[in-house]
Structure 1
Amino acid sequence: MTPITEVEGRRVTLSNLDKVLYPETGFTKGELVHYYATTADVMLPHLRDRAVSFLRYPDGPDGQVFFTKNVPPGTPDWVTTAEVPRSDGPARMVVVGDLASLVWAANLVAEFHTHQWPVRTPDEADRLIFDLDPGEPASVVECCEAALWLRERLAADGIEAYPKTAGSKGLHLLAAVRGASSRDTSEYAKALAVEAERALPGLVTHRMTKSLRPGKVFVDWSQNAARKTTATPYTLRARAAPLVSAPVTWEEVEGCGAPAELEFLAEDIAPRVREHGDLMAGLLDRERAAPLP
């Protein structure tokens, strides 16, 4: 029998809760739904008012993995949706704004990915992002070194950066900005990536070319493009273990000496939230959003 649970007055159908999604640890779909439900207080503010793309892995990371951008068939009528612009014409996407919608979406088994702009103002980006991606044998340790340089460079322009793990092998830096288009943020991010490569030539590349990347950190500025989405803070990732894209402190970035120090599983997040609250809360404070120079 398929269980139906009530969440804030909404009836949410759940399925296959005993299915093991992460064989490496035995982490089940029920544990995945529980993780999202108990992380909602810090995760929902980063999802609210943003169209969501779902990277779905209903049979675990080793099964079929696919993106769902349009509203999935069978979406309850109480789940908020919004029309968003696309190069091939407007499309309708899900906006996860409350606990019931988050639990419903968790039942799809998905990573949550969001744009750098809110649905109400698609022409104005309110986020700047750098995706720091290490080329082996480099790791997140080298990403931290690049992140510290970018932090100081952004601060020189009055922009405050917030780090989180990618939940795979890299690091994401996000900042709240205002008064900019996605094209503006892309151009600014690319200029800083080029500057980082010039300042740290043995460590950083701003180009995606595979032959340039071994042992270096690719500072991916391209995710600022209007069409691109990035893993939302606190989302689980489709990896061998239930790793989370977890906000981290700058002290953790500065002190990172081994990749394992910045790997966080679902079970690690509740204690971190109790200790730190939402380390990315500053992103949500419009008063702290900075104009691009």
Structure 2
Amino acid sequence: MSFTYGLPFSNEKLLDGIIFTLKRKKEIEVAQLLRGASLSIETGGYSYYDGGWGRSDAMATSIYLYVNPVNIDGLDTKENKELLRSISDTLIPAEVGYDVKRVIIEIDLTKDFEMEDDLITDLEKQSDRISGKILSIILPNDIKEKGYYMAEVYTYLYAVENSLRLFIEEVCKKEHGEHYFDEIKVPKPLRNTITNRLEKANANKWLSIRGDSKLFYLDFKDLGSLIDNNWEIFKEYFPSRDFIIPKIDEMAECRNLIAHNSLVEETERSVIKTYYNVILKQITRGLED
């Protein structure tokens, strides 16, 4: 067959495909180690004559992965490189004519990575220090995989919750000015919540502050209550109350599960992702109009 010798998608898309495939294969730890990585492709010589296998007219291809320095040791193993090579070879269409022979892991020196260990790296290091017998009892692989899974779910919730806060603040300032909080309707229980949390924040100065706005001292569900109680200024941004309030309430329930270290199942995860996209699209368009 004749080959195109060119990818029908970008290197970034290939990397996205590799990470997605790793997650499908339950290789969650390897996928996490590729966070922030970049990819390049190098071809040279015919595949059949390079390494003893391959299609006669295909090009011998190397995949270079440039990764965070703290992740390189976890990725640069024979097993992981073969896994990445196999996935890359499968994702590249046959008609391209690239036979992936090897994956090379390099340190990415073009980015300013945070060199301190992140929490996941620290978890791995702590695991390495514990004997296998004890580790299987207190930190089985199933728990770690679910932890990575829940970290993704939390990211969606974190993004939409804080986007809602900023949206509410923008709308309230537009209507009432900088001192909007004295003008909007805030139920007494919510005001008490804010007061109590501000007092605790002042008492525990070693903890990071939630934010400059009082909105950051309200929970996800409280934000829905705030929109509901001030519907007159928010109604132009949403089709109806039933469009936004139930969605916030459902996501708040999922957030409570995460806060109590409970597992969010695939159904709830899909709901979160869908609501994340719908809500952000709605409030973005609302502010642009």
TMscore range, shorter length? under 0.3
Higher RCO structure, 1 or 2 (CA under 8 Å, sep 6+): 1
Which of the two has greater helix per residue?
2
- TM-score normalised by the chain length of structure 2: 0.25
Q: Highest CA radius of gyration, 1 or 2?
A: 2
